[in-house]
Chain A
Amino acid sequence: MFNQFEKNLRRLFEKNSIHFSENGKFYKFRPLFEAVETIFFTPAIPAGCPPFVRDGIDLKRFMSIVLLALMPPLFFGIYNTGYHSLAASGIELHFLNIIISGLLTVMPLIIVSYAAGFFWEILFAVIRKHPISEGFLVTGLLFPMTLPPTVPLWQVAVGISFGVVIGKEVFGGTGRNIFNPALTARAFLFFAYPAKMSGDRVWVAVSDTASTAISAVTGATPLAVAALSPSFDNIESMLQSAGFTLSTLFIGHYPGSVGGTSALCCLMGALILIITGVASYRIIIGGVAGLLLTSFLLGIVSTAPLNPWIDINPLYHLAAGGFAFGIVYMATDPVSGPGTNTSKWFYGFFIGMMTVLIRIFNPAYPEGVMMAILFMNLFAPLFDFIEIRMHVSKRIVNV
């Protein structure tokens, strides 16, 4: 049966290929046709110049592995969103209900993100006459996972449009962008529509019929709890009394962005990425080290209670908020990050450091990893430049 399906599919593409050929009426949309065809069939292209044997990996496989690594936080995110939505609405917490509710909240975000983003991808590919890039498969999923579940769908569309067009295509498309497109999109929404992107009331999707239970669950994220806490004496007990123990934070079972709450799931994703060699372990480990070391050192030197986050156990920094998600999936984007090995350590380290600094010294702005990564994206070429210069100076000149 499968073979029959394959045969029919092959015939379908062969038959319609003529319409998209040079003389066909849909020649303009050839990139779209190719994109669809190559999703089903990896084309047979003979190698034109040596070597005549090529590696089995291509960008599609590369990006598919990132998608695979995104599955644990996505599935957990769907569950988590559904759970808190139902809990807030006072509906019975049955597993099936939770999943359905989660899917109803999360899937529209993902669908709108992909639809709006692919519209721009296809438009640019058709006008520029280049193939549609696989990179967007990742961007289109990463972006909605960083959003609060309550964000209006039109904002998702506006955000991803900004991310794809301004974050990527104006630079010339995939491989030439200087910022991570998904984060560019999120940063745009964050500053353009702060009311829908931050604060206490955006993190739980509640249906309109919700009644009395709302106030019991709707509330601040752990980062906000700490920032808003009136007494600076003991932040850890403060967080715990709000229900945020370290293990809750690590597992991620608290209201937050769709996919970014669970450090545990991000750890699973990180393992997939590192084992397959798709993401750089240097950036991830460097980032974690930067975060822990900076918060540890600040904890030692702080005398006056400047901000509650300064005295906290560094592990809280690691588990809370979107740091884990950012360092695993956003910072490791090879295009916007550095390409040389030592630079990767520094790049990761500085992201971790900046995250802590923003969390601590900017009370208006509890989540720091997004800005930290975008900021370091800006420096990645400089890191590369310095490392290449150092590398070149060590070589024996050969001209």
Chain B
Amino acid sequence: MKTVKIKKGWQFKIAGKPSHRIENRPAITHVAFVPDQIPFVKPRLMVQVGDKVKIGSILFEDKKRPGLKFLSPGCGKISDVTFGPRRVIHEIVIALDNDERFKTFEILTEPVLEQIERKLLIDRLMNGGMWPFVRQLPFRQIADPDSLPNAVWVSLGSADPFQPSAHIYLKGQTDFFEFGIKALRRLADTVNICRYNETPVKSDSTANYVTHRLFGKYPASDPGVVLYHTKKNAAENRDWYIDGQDVIQLGKFLKTGAYPIDRMVSFSDGSFENSCHLKTRMGIRLKDLAPGIINDHRKRWVVGGVLSGYTSIRDDFLDLHQTSVMLMDESHESELFGFVRPGFKKLSNSRSVISAFSSAPLPINSDMHGEQRPCINCGYCAKICPVDIMPQYTFKSIYADEIEEALACGLLDCVECGLCSFVCPSKIELTDFLVDAKHRYHKEINQGV
């Protein structure tokens, strides 16, 4: 077992960490599939409003790669298909039947799994809607099934305490997890299982199969960060990765032959009482996750992590890949003499506030805490960047259209953790700028495809 220590990053100091309590949150009337959060996929709809679907029926496939199928997370009638800007499919909403039925897939036994051809296994996963869980660095799109990666990285546990704890989602699921790992071993020669412990534990049920033990601050558990700190050559850049919870789903799918829809989601609204783990299902409506919260007009729903997530609304649904939902205060009131206040309750990575000298968790809101200004070259972003890309110079290279220079600085090593934007005193949208440049580059190199 290797030990990987990552020095740079940010120690979370945010109040409302989800507790280890588990609550059930069944879907009430509707679930949905949210295609527009999946990068670089162009959906071709295979259903219409009014169609009947089972759990595991196909909803749409990727226009660019027709074998890549996306399956229904619910059984019932397609009640609505909503479109976003430029006719991008936003949501495919399914009104649930009372009695839900599964579409059945072929069961794979362990001896068969050991024998099965790699190509056949991939086909099976593609048809079973499981392939979207396997993703590829550095663009974080769904993995290219025709490529052979150097390794698959499995992440167990997150340095972001607002993500579900691996300890919780592994409980009682170790069989499925191990089966999932066996399936992954058929896909790549090396399967690296990275364990990040949220809290130090003496005995750990995962100790047998973990290959990398991770230490460090957020985002030390990100597969991109681990890869950056362990890679030996450029061939490893296109490695695949999968989340620990999705490995369980993978194992479950192959073992039971049913499209697995259960999900462990961590929820936080900043309070101690409501922040916990929720046992729920894929594609659930956000407001069904927090039935107690009725009045949220001064709140913001952030899906997918405090620092890397996107904004949603209460009537939207949970995206395929996301397992964390946070309800944070919206910024609404200007602060008198905000910049000379000593800052007993201000959250800052810098030492310019009093609270920097204590480790007590602090409440957060979605305010910028200042206005945008030109870059003053303070170097705060370079100091915190976990993959040493010096965001202040990389972003200026992109600004000057010197994409080669930005790539040399390590643009593609960016793990999209959000820390550079977070710490910037000039409030420059560094992460957004870098991610946008990555996406444009991806489009450029895949133009012929």
Closest Cβ of chain B: how far from A387's Cβ, in Å? 9
Chain B residue numbers with a CB within 8 Å of A134 are 373
Q: Which of B14, B231, B336, B409 contacts A388 (CB 8 A)?
A: B409
Closest Cβ of chain A: how far from B202's Cβ, in Å? 33
Within A31-65, which residues are at the interface with B (CB < 8 Å)?
A: 38, 40-62, 64-65
> Considering only CB atoms and an 8 Å cut-off, how many residues of chain A contact the other chain?
57
User: Once the chains bind, are B368 and A47 in contact (CB under 8 Å)?
Assistant: yes
Render A258-280 as a binary contact track against B, CB cut-off 8 A, 1 for contact: 00000000000000000111101
Q: Which of B309, B336, B364, B368 contacts A50 (CB 8 A)?
A: B309
Chain A residue numbers with a CB within 8 Å of B328 are 52-53
Known: A55-B369, A276-B351. A174 touches B376 (CB 8 A): yes
Chain B residue numbers with a CB within 8 Å of A56 are 343, 346-348, 352-353, 369
Q: Which of A45, A54, A176, A277 contacts B422 (CB 8 A)?
A: A54
- Docked CA distance A61–B234 (Å): 42
Chain B residue numbers with a CB within 8 Å of A58 are 339, 368-371, 373, 425-427
Interface class of chain B by DSSP = loop
Chain A residue numbers with a CB within 8 Å of B334 are 10, 41-44
Residue B263, interface by CB 8 Å: no
- Docked CA distance A98–B184 (Å): 80
Residue B338, interface by CB 8 Å: yes
User: Once the chains bind, are B427 and A175 in contact (CB under 8 Å)?
Assistant: no
Q: Which of B232, B336, B350, B368 contacts A45 (CB 8 A)?
A: B368
Known: A44-B332, A44-B333, A398-B234. A51 touches B418 (CB 8 A): yes
Chain B residue numbers with a CB within 8 Å of A44 are 331-335, 367
Render B279-310 as a binary contact track against A, CB cut-off 8 A, 1 for contact: 00000000000000000000010100011111
Beta-carbon nearest neighbor of B332 in chain A: A44
User: Once the chains bind, are B350 and A50 in contact (CB under 8 Å)?
Assistant: no
- Docked CA distance A133–B366 (Å): 24
Known: A49-B432, A55-B424, A57-B348. A391 touches B370 (CB 8 A): no
Chain A residue numbers with a CB within 8 Å of B425 are 55, 57-59, 61-62
User: Once the chains bind, are B367 and A335 in contact (CB under 8 Å)?
Assistant: no
Q: How many residue pairs at the A-B interface have CB separations less than 8 Å?
A: 213
Residue A72, interface by CB 8 Å: no
- Docked CA distance A282–B188 (Å): 46
Residue A9, interface by CB 8 Å: yes
Known: A61-B339, A395-B410. A53 touches B14 (CB 8 A): yes
- Stretch of B64-72, B91-99, B250-258, B388-396 that contacts chain A: B388-396
Beta-carbon nearest neighbor of B362 in chain A: A56
User: Once the chains bind, are B374 and A176 in contact (CB under 8 Å)?
Assistant: yes
User: Once the chains bind, are A392 and B408 in contact (CB under 8 Å)?
Assistant: yes
Closest Cβ of chain A: how far from B220's Cβ, in Å? 17
Residue B318, interface by CB 8 Å: no
- Docked CA distance A65–B341 (Å): 11
Q: Which of A42, A55, A278, A335 contacts B335 (CB 8 A)?
A: A42
Render B344-380 as a binary contact track against A, CB cut-off 8 A, 1 for contact: 0011111111000000000011111111011111110
Q: Which of A42, A43, A49, A335 contacts B377 (CB 8 A)?
A: A335
Chain A residue numbers with a CB within 8 Å of B421 are 49-51, 54
Q: Which of A50, A135, A280 contacts B432 (CB 8 A)?
A: A50
Residue B51, interface by CB 8 Å: no
Chain B residue numbers with a CB within 8 Å of A301 are none
Residue B123, interface by CB 8 Å: no
Residue B431, interface by CB 8 Å: yes
Chain B residue numbers with a CB within 8 Å of A174 are 373-374, 376
Chain B residue numbers with a CB within 8 Å of A9 are 336
Of A47, A57, A61, most buried by chain B (CB within 10 Å of CB) is A57
Beta-carbon nearest neighbor of A279 in chain B: B378
> Considering only CB atoms and an 8 Å cut-off, how many residues of chain B contact the other chain?
74
Residue A313, interface by CB 8 Å: no
Known: A6-B336, A51-B307, A55-B348. A175 touches B377 (CB 8 A): yes
User: Once the chains bind, are A41 and B352 in contact (CB under 8 Å)?
Assistant: no
Of B138, B310, B370, B431, most buried by chain A (CB within 10 Å of CB) is B370
User: Once the chains bind, are B376 and A55 in contact (CB under 8 Å)?
Assistant: no
Residue A131, interface by CB 8 Å: yes
Residue A340, interface by CB 8 Å: yes
User: Once the chains bind, are B379 and A54 in contact (CB under 8 Å)?
Assistant: no
User: Once the chains bind, are A54 and B367 in contact (CB under 8 Å)?
Assistant: yes
Chain A residue numbers with a CB within 8 Å of B431 are 49-51
Beta-carbon nearest neighbor of B339 in chain A: A60
Beta-carbon nearest neighbor of A380 in chain B: B377
User: Once the chains bind, are B423 and A55 in contact (CB under 8 Å)?
Assistant: yes
Q: Which of A51, A392, A395 contacts B306 (CB 8 A)?
A: A51
Of A133, A134, A174, A339, most buried by chain B (CB within 10 Å of CB) is A339
Residue A163, interface by CB 8 Å: no
Closest Cβ of chain A: how far from B255's Cβ, in Å? 36
Chain A residue numbers with a CB within 8 Å of B419 are 51
User: Once the chains bind, are A133 and B351 in contact (CB under 8 Å)?
Assistant: no
Closest Cβ of chain B: how far from A18's Cβ, in Å? 17
User: Once the chains bind, are A53 and B388 in contact (CB under 8 Å)?
Assistant: no
- Docked CA distance A38–B340 (Å): 12
Known: A51-B421, A54-B421, A64-B339. A340 touches B308 (CB 8 A): no
Given contacts A133-B374, A339-B382, could you give 18 more A-B pairs where the C-beta distance is less than 8 Å? Answer: A41-B334, A41-B336, A42-B338, A42-B370, A44-B334, A44-B367, A47-B331, A51-B307, A54-B367, A54-B370, A55-B347, A58-B368, A58-B373, A59-B426, A61-B425, A62-B425, A334-B377, A396-B231
18 of the cross-chain contacts (CB-CB < 8 Å) are: A9-B336, A10-B334, A44-B332, A47-B331, A50-B311, A50-B431, A52-B311, A53-B422, A55-B350, A57-B370, A58-B368, A62-B378, A65-B352, A134-B373, A340-B379, A340-B382, A391-B390, A395-B408
Closest 5 pairs between A and B when the two form their complex, measured CB to CB: A58-B370, A42-B338, A175-B374, A56-B346, A51-B418
